[in-house]
Structure formats: structure tokens, C-alpha cells
Amino acid sequence: MKKLKLLTIIILFFIIKTSNSYSLIEVDITRGNLNPLPVAVSPLFQDNKSKNEFTKELDLEDLGLEISRVIENNLKQSGLFNPLSKDAFLQKPDIAHLKPRFEDWALIKAQALITGKVSLDNQKLKVEFRLWDVLAGREMLALAFTTVPNNWRRVGHIITDKVYERLTGEKGYFDTRIIYVSEEGPKTQRIKKLAIMDQDGFNNKYLTLGNELVLTPRFNPTNQMITYLSYFRNLPRVYLLDIETGIQEVVGDFPGMTFAPRFSPDGKKIIMSFAKDGNSDIYTMDLENRIVEQITKHPSIDTSPSYSPDGKYITFNSDRSGYQQIYVMKSNGSNVKRISFGNGIYGTPVWSPRGDLIAFTKLHKGKFYIGVMRTDGKGERLLTENFYQEAPSWSPNGRVLIFYRETKTNKKGEGFSAKLWSIDLTGYNERLVETKTDASDPSWSSLLSN
């Protein structure tokens, strides 16, 4: 017994002796780089049989390669990722999809890897993909989709959304559409048509013929409906259009001009401005029972209303202080507060889908700015400056803004153009959005796959 005690004491001494007497060193890492994450998008593998079928049906030589290009382009446009050149890839797509050699991918500095496989299953396109963490040497995500072969571009967008969400923590915005006003002809005689396209500029379609002037189209956040302003018989009215059926109708029976329409977050109401006798106030109309409600009552011009994502607040611009400024009020019109106090004129406020920011257009000293501020008006940040630009619209994840920019004409009135541009919240990733014609008044849809 005594021996046992002694042994225990001796062992304890040795434990004390051998234990680490240093306490843990802590180092705080508070900075990092904002460089885009290097990603390798391997062409999606397809067997010969599927390859021949797809070539016949879609007139594409390598569908797997095309889908990978869609993903690559999306990731690059986001500004957060740097897709690596396919020429540098060391591993073939089929083997990479089964078991990547992480050393090879790490060698080309890839931190994430996307692999996949395309096949034909009962005349349907089946796409499976995997996202790999190259440095950790493990799989991060694996999913499969089945759709009609013609839908292959959308599959690319959906994959990008999933990858984006997994690597950034926020929802993507790639499986979305943009509605805009297509413009053609000289500046004094512009033909304006409603047009819709994928967010990357593909699959462009016109929704109106261009007989009437159309302005400010806005997507319903819950379904494929749009509301817009159209001058029918020289009377500007707010219209509603179902994209899938093509049915169009006037919103409300207002005895005057209605404009600047926008949907409520649940898609059940339309909020807009109604002008009568030189005064303009904000109204809502319930789309189910068609009940109209006046929200503001002020002898000033109140316009450009936009709901907060929870539907409890509305932001709008008004000249009630003498100059056009941005205001926030409760959705019943009470508790109106001015939030913009900077120099210049503020307009077109749009509440972010995240709820934390309000985007706006600002005119100051002859220049137009697109900026954001917090919902209490603090933290104003101007993201981009130009000769003329306005009408910001948020991506569904509240990270990117799309707007349009017009160029100056020369003395002869030549050189005018209007183009869509996008910019992210950092203010660095500004990109031209390709459209077939000139374009203005863009509006971003919510995610189609939701």
C-alpha cells in the first residue's frame, strides 16, 4: 500500500515536471486581403454517348465545358472569385470529379475546386457537381440537378449560387433575371420597349412592341409579375404584366397620373405616387381586393416609395424641406423622418433586401452619384460618380446594385448612349452589363430557384 502511494507521488512529480509551464500565446489577426479567391472550375465531365446526344439536341460540342464557362463567368463577375485558366489544369475532368489530386490543384494556387459530371437520363439533362476545399483536401458540397437540356445555362447559374453561398455565407444572385427598358433610335425619338434577360445578359426577350413609352419596370419579389409605367394615349398610368401569360392590366382607376410603382415585399400590394393638381402623394393598392389607401398627405411632391423587407417601413423622397431629400416613415404613413442631410439633392431611395441599407441617387455640383446609407441616414457612402446615372436596384442578396448611366452628347447631339452598370457594396467591382441595345431603368428579380 505504502509502495503504491510512493509510486503515485513519484508519477505525480514526473507529470508536474513534464507539463508545459508556458501559457498559450495568442495572436490577433484583424486584417486580411481583399483579393478574389482563386477557384478552379474543371470542365464538367460527360461520356461519349451523352456527348453525341447533346451535340445533336443543343448544337453544342461540349456541354460540360459550356456549363463550366457559365459558372466561371458568374464567379468572375461577382468580383469575389478569380477563376483560374483552364490551360493550367493538370488533372482530367473525369478523374478530378471522382478524386481530385489536391497537390496538383494547390500547385496552380487554387483554393477551391469545382468538378462535375453531365449525363443524359431519360432525355433529361442530369448535372452533378462537387465543391472541394483544395487546402483542406475535403469535399465541401455535392449536389445533382435534373432538368430539360435547354435549361443548361440555368443549371450553371444554380451551381454558381450554391458555390457562392457555401464560400461566402450569403445567398447568391446568379439564377436571376433583369427587366429593363430597351432604348433605340435618336435621343429625341427613342423607341422604348420592355425587355427581360438573365443577369449575365443572355436570353434577352422583348415584352412590349415599343408603341408606347414605358418607364420604371419593377419585379414582383414573389413571382414573375412586373409593374411599370406606360404612357397610353399620353396618360401615364401604372400597369401590371404577367410575364408568363403576357396579360396586362391598369392598376387602379386613378383620375390623374400614377407613377413610380413598386411591389410590397409580400407581392400583394403596389405602392406608387399619384399626382393631382400639382400635388403628388404616395398611395398603395391591394392587388387582391383593389382597395386604395393614401399614405402621405402633404402639399409637396412625395414620390419613389420603397418598402423595407419586413414591410413595416417605407422610404421615399420628398421636397417638403425645400429640396428633394430622403425620408422614412411607418407603412401607415406615420412617424415621418428625414434621413438625408448631406449636400445636394437625393432621390430614388431603394431599401436593401437585407434591410440594413438604403441605396439612392444623389445630385451634387452637376454630378450624379449612386450611394448607400444606413436606414437612419448615417454612414453615407457614395459608390460611383458620373455625368448622369440613376435608378439603382438591388440584387436579391443585397450585395450588388444595378443602375443605368447615360453618356454626354456632343454639340450635334451625337454620341448619346445609355447602358446598364453594376457595382458591389465595396465600390470597386464596377462592371458594364452587356445588352443588345441601349438600356435604362433596370430592376433585378428575386432568385428564380426559390
Partner 1 sequence: MYKSLFFSSGFHIGIIFLSIFTLPFIAKKPIDVPPLISVELIQISDVTNIPYAPKAKKIIEKVKKEKEKLLSEQAPPKKIKKDNIKKINLDKKKENIKELTPKKTPTPENKKEKVKKEKLDAIPMPNQKKEKLQIEEEKKQNPSKKIDKDKKLKKIIESKKPNTQENKVKQVSEFEKKELFDPNNIAALIDKSKEDLGETNKKTDKITQSQDASMNISTLTLGEEDALKAQIFGCWSIPLGLPYNENLLVRIKLKLKPDGTLLKSEIIDHARMNMPGQGFYKVLAESALRAIRLCQPLKVPTSGYERWKDLQLNFDAREMLGG
Residues that bind partner 1 (CB under 8 A): 6, 9-10, 13-14, 16-17, 20-37, 80, 111, 133, 135-136, 140, 165-170, 356, 397, 399, 426
CA 101 to chain centre: 34
User: Whole-number minimum distance, CB 124 to partner 1, in Å?
Assistant: 31
C-alpha angle with apex 444: 172 to 180, nearest 5 degrees? 145
- When the beta carbons of 292 and 425 are compared against partner 1, the nearer one is 425
Q: Which is nearer to partner 1, 35 or 188 (CB)?
A: 35
- Please state the closest distance from residue 79 (CB atom) to partner 1, in A: 8
d(CA 118, CA 147): 11
Q: Least separation, in Å, of the C-beta of 358 and partner 1? A: 16
**Which are the contacts of 390, defined by CB distance < 8 A and separation ≥ 6?**
347, 348, 361, 368, 370, 403, 404
Question: What stretches of 233-377 adopt beta strand conformation (E)?
Answer: 235-242, 248-250, 257-263, 269-276, 279-286, 292-294, 302-307, 313-318, 325-330, 337-338, 345-351, 357-364, 367-374
C-alpha cell at 419: 447602358
Count CB neighbours of 99 within 10 A: 10
Nearer to partner 1, 95 or 136 (CB): 136
Closest approach of Cβ 22 to partner 1, in Å?
Answer: 5
Return the closest-CA partner of residue 207 out of 221, 219, 189: 219
- In DSSP terms, 227 is beta-bridged to 218, 240
Query: Shortest Cβ distance from residue 99 to partner 1 (Å)?
Result: 19
CB 98 within 8 A of CB 184: no
Nearer Cβ to partner 1 (28/414): 28
Give whichever of 28 and 87 is closer to partner 1, judged by the CB atom: 28
Nearer to partner 1 among residue 33 and residue 334 (C-beta): 33
Shortest distance in whole angstroms from residue 28 CB to partner 1? 5
Between β-strands 313-318 and 400-406, what pairing exists: parallel, antiparallel or unpaired? Answer: unpaired
